[in-house]
Every structure is written in C-alpha cells, then in structure tokens.
Structure 1
Amino acid sequence: MTKLVQAVLAVAAMTSCETLGSVQGSSETVRALSSWTQVSEALVSGVADVDELREALLPLAKASHASYAGDVGEDIGQDFALVARETPEDGMNALAYLAPDARVIVAFRGTTSESDDCADVLLFTPEKPLPESCEKYSNYTLDYVSRASEFVHEAISAAATSPAAEASDKDEKEALDVVFTGHSLGASLAQLMALSYHASGMDNVQFRAIAFAPAGVKEIAERDGFPTDDAKKVAAVIVNPFDPVYTTTERTEIGRVCKFQSISEPLMCRCCKSLEDKRRLLEGQQEISMSLCCRVCFAKAHRFPNYMEALTAMEEDPDCK
C-alpha cells in the first residue's frame, strides 16, 4: 500500500469519529428487491429504478452509521432488529441485524480508534513495524480478520435460531440471506468476509458484500489465501470517484466498483491527486502524502456522512464496472 494510503487511513481516526450527522430515508419494506443478490444485481446493472435501489441500500448505510455511532438502538428500517453485537472499547466492532424475511445485515465499523489504526497497519502494510503506541494491544485484539470471522459465526447462529428465520418462507437453500457492509476499514472487512464465507459453502446461507469506500483488498486476499474467483459475483463496493482512499487503491479492488455519479470534485482532491502523481516520482517523501490537500480531500470525499448524503441525494444509478 502506498504511503499516501497510509496517511489517508491515519487521518481516519481524526475525522471519522466526528459527528456523523442525521440519517434520513424511508423505512418502508422493499418489495421488488427482496434478496441481497437482487439488490447487488440491480446495483451493478445500471438500469435499476433509482428510488427502489436507494431504498434497498439505505438499511446498509444506516447499519454502517450505527456501527460508527455505537448506537445499538438505532432503527435501520425495514423491520430489521439487532441480533448480535461486538462493541469492545478496543478492537473490531460490528453489529448484526435480522429482518422478518430472513435477510441479515452484518456491519463492520471503520477506523475510529487507536486500536483500529494499529489493525490498519497489520492488515494493509504488515511489512511495517507497529508504532510503539500499539504495544498495549494484544495480537488477538489486533487480528481484525479473525475477530470479524468469529463475529460472523455468532451472528449467523443468532439469526438462524431466531423466530424470524424459523418462520421464513424462503426455500431451504436460501434460509438466511446475509450481506456484509461497512465503510472504509469496515468495507474492506466486509469484502474479505464475503469471499471467505461464500467459498465455505455453508448450508442454507448465501453471502454477499455491498459496502462503502473500502481500501482495496486484492493484496490481502492474495497474501492470506482468500478465494477470489467469485469476487465480482459476491462483492460490490460503492465509492465517491474522488475519494482518496479509492483513488489510491483502485488497482487493488476485487469486486464490482460502483461510482456515484453527478458528484463534483472537491478542489483539494485535485491538489491531492497532483501530489500523488508527484509522489510516484519522488518515492519516500512522506510529507507529500501528509499534505493539507489530502487531509481536506479526505474530509470532503471519504468521511461517511458524505457517502450518506450522496446516497440519499442519488438521482441516477451508480456507474458500475
């Protein structure tokens, strides 16, 4: 991962924990897009009804918001109810929700804390030494992939034994319909979990990832042996095309990449892009990647409230590749 990405992820701790803003949107049940596979296919098709698509995606955004805010009582709409939570002060955080039709949302939190920063280093740049400030955390705490996988097992167990799942009218092969979501670091974890669990062939469960603004995980998947053959089938990510996390890790995205349209490029993102190009010629000058331009661009284009605003204001389908 480039030094610019390292710097961008470092800024996450300073900006993501700011007030996330209000979450708006209808809570009416989506009828036409009744499974996460249908939502994913509608998203990447580029021809879905935009209002219907927005309505289908809003619970994912609201669950991502709740994971940041730590609000386990937040109503994410469509009759989803919280069935599992992992919210330690330090370490991987996630929430799981179940709807009466046996749809499940597992939302992973993005970078907000010092332990998240340390986990970012281990996950994205394991060749780098951990900062001294990370020594207080155990290897167990900082192994976010393993903790995420454990939470998924817990969430599936909780959902499968709930009255909603037992009363589901879905056929036997699709008894639980699971989507992984999140923003930033959370979105990266969502993709890795989708790759892992889709390949596991777990009975009576299907898995997808639909997430927001991840850092690319291709290098992680290759390094740690995650199966990627079906990546474009099981994972779709939604990005602001000017988000510096996306622009610096675009080559390592593995699933379908869906860009919000009709978004103006923040002026500071033009500056950040220019400095990124310069950095490629002047390798090793970390002060370039820590520039004010990139910090402001991060705040304008990567922070979660900007994604929520773009989703609620979306007037045309994202452009997916």
Structure 2
Amino acid sequence: TNVRKQNTYNYNSISYKEAVQPVAEMTKLSYTGNVLEPVPGFSLVEAMLPKNGLNALVYISDSISLSLGGETGLRNSNVNKSGIVIAFRGTTTNSDRCADFLLWKVDQKLPLWCSMFNRRTLNYTATALELVRRVKQKYPGIPILYTGHSLGAALAEMLSLASNGSSPSLCFASGGAKGPSSRFNLLTKSSDITCSVQIVNPWDPIVHFSMDDQIGYMCVYHNVSEPKPCAKCFQQGRASIPCEECFNDAHKYINYLHLLNRNDTPTCFLKTENNLRSAFSVQQDTVKS
C-alpha cells in the first residue's frame, strides 16, 4: 500500500492512484456530463442527467478491486470483474442548492425561489435510493461502490451507510453525512462507517465547517499551501466573502484533481469526535513551519 497509516485504510494489490483515478474521473464527468468521454476499463451503463434534480452516472468495471480497512481488521468490499460504480454530481444548479438546504439547513426556511421545484425533485436522497434499487434490479448480486464530490460525496456516504457495509464509498470533500443520514433514517446500529472513505484538502472550508457531521475514514493531504482567503474565512465564518474565495481555491473539484496529480499520498484515519480537528491542526502547523 502507498497509504501511510497501516491498518486504517489500504488498497489491495493496487496503488493509491490506480484506485482513486478512475472514480476521480467519473466524478469529473458527473460535472461535465460528457457521456462520450471514456473511463479506461469501465463502461457507462446509465446516465441520469436531468436539467433539474439529481445527476448521476453509473459505470460497470472489469478490473477494479478495493479493500477498505478498519482498526480491528480489514473489512473487504471488492469491486471486481463486473463491479459497479455510481458517481453523484456535486452542487451545480439551483435545484442542487435547494437540495443542499433540505440536507443541511433544516433549521432554515427554503429560499422562495426553491418553490419553482417540487419536493420530489429536491428529495435527492429518495432519488439516489431509487437509482440504486433500479441498478440492483438490473444487475443483481453485483457489488457497488459510490463516489462523488461535495453534495455528491455526502450522498455517496449516505448510501454506503444505508448498505450496512456491503457497498463502500470513496469520495471527495463531503459536506457531511452524519446529520442527513440520521434524519433520513439511514444511520442505524448496523451501519458501518468504516466503509466510507473520503479524500480531503485540509483547507477546504466545506469540510472545515462540517467536522461534526463527518464520518468514516478521512484521507488528508499534507504540505498543501494555504490559500490566502482561507485564514479569514475560518475566522469570520462560512457566510463571509473570504469564504467564497476560499471555496474557489480549496473546495472546487478542480483543486482535488490537482491534488491527485501530486506524487505524495494522503494520511488516512478513522474520524472520531476530535481527531479530524487535530489532523487539520497538524497540517496547518506543518505548512506554517
């Protein structure tokens, strides 16, 4: 394995980049909607690309094999030969932004302009669950891996929790799945958070402000230069102007593609109540020193 921390997260017989690159490409294509662009070793079998509502791509693979590890031993979930990967798009359209409200801002009223969409359109959780049901019906018994970025990452994690450990997620910069999963009754005593893994930029404001909502394994890159607006963003709060700039410099998906092009690998650990904050502090101290 190329991942630094033993017995927390490792890939079985393939390198870090070999494992992450295909799902990173699928996540990119979930944003661009370019269904003609190939992902080596995979075939696109379904594209759900409505103008309003959840967007997702479904791929089938004959080569990928992932092994997600837990602190008490490996918990294997292999996606091989006929394995399926479902990539969910992150926040892009106005309907996505309204769906964000329903997932994370339950104490706030929906913006008035969200009334242009019906609740069925904005219930991305139900739509994602229906997509999974349809895929399982079409491809019975074939294991599924979920991926995505931001909103898409949170949905991937929620579905992984709903699978009770049978379908892992490998995603990027989740907005946090703990609260939404609880509200949608997807987080139960049998949910296996060790099957959820996400790649994280330590300066990402979306992750920074949702630490209490994060679950599973966090794979944090080190020696990442702090974007100038992010310090003020973290001081002034997520509604501040610096946070908009920090969002562009650290959260947008292009930043994660840049991280994957580096030669190093992130350090991964199972998120507990406080160790995510500690990991971010270590990263920040390392960069500043």
Shorter-normalised TM range: 0.7 to 0.9
Q: Does 1:137 align with 2:117?
A: yes
| Structure 1 position 41, deviation (Å) | 12
| CA shift in 2, pair 1:145/1:296, >3 Å | same
Q: Is the 8 A contact 1:80 1:99 kept in 2?
A: yes
One-letter amino acid of the counterpart of residue 156, structure 1: K
Select which of 192, 212, 216 maps to 2:172.
212
Q: Distance in 2 between matches of 1:212 and 1:130?
A: 26
* Stretch moving more, 138-147 or 218-227: 218-227
| CA shift in 2, pair 1:48/1:224, >3 Å | closer
Paired residue secondary structure (2:37): coil
Q: Is the 8 A contact 1:67 1:95 kept in 2?
A: yes
The 5-angstrom pairing of residues 80-229 of structure 1 reads: 80-100=42-62, 101-160=81-140, 175-198=141-164, 206-229=166-189
Q: Is the 8 A contact 2:3 2:265 kept in 1?
A: no
Q: Is the 8 A contact 1:109 1:186 kept in 2?
A: yes
Extract unaligned runs of 5+ from structure 1.
1-37, 161-174, 200-205, 277-288
**Deviations 1:200-249, CA, capped at 9 Å, x for gaps:** xxxxxx31011100111211222222235444321111111110000000
Structure 2 length-normalised TM: 0.80
Structure 1 length-normalised TM: 0.72
**Deviations 1:265-311, CA, capped at 9 Å, x for gaps:** 112111111213xxxxxxxxxxxx43221111000000001001101
One-letter amino acid of the counterpart of residue 240, structure 2: S
Counterpart in 2 of 1:69?
32
| Structure 1 position 46, deviation (Å) | 6.1
Q: Does 1:266 align with 2:227?
A: yes
Counterpart in 2 of 1:257?
218
Counterpart in 1 of 2:265?
316
| Structure 1 position 196, deviation (Å) | 0.9
Q: Is the 8 A contact 1:261 1:319 kept in 2?
A: no
Larger relative CO (CA 8 A, sep 6+): 1 or 2? Answer: 1
Q: Distance in 2 between matches of 1:213 and 1:243?
A: 8
One-letter amino acid of the counterpart of residue 80, structure 1: F
| CA shift in 2, pair 1:103/1:314, >3 Å | farther
Q: Is the 8 A contact 1:237 1:257 kept in 2?
A: yes
**Aligned residue-pair number:** 251
Paired residue secondary structure (2:155): helix
**Deviations 1:176-208, CA, capped at 9 Å, x for gaps:** 221100000000000011111236xxxxxx310
| CA shift in 2, pair 1:81/1:44, >3 Å | farther
Q: Is the 8 A contact 2:24 2:257 kept in 1?
A: yes
Extract unaligned runs of 5+ from structure 2.
63-80, 271-289
Q: Is the 8 A contact 1:50 1:317 kept in 2?
A: no
Q: Does 1:246 align with 2:176?
A: no
* Stretch moving more, 236-245 or 220-229: 220-229
Q: Is the 8 A contact 1:40 1:236 kept in 2?
A: no
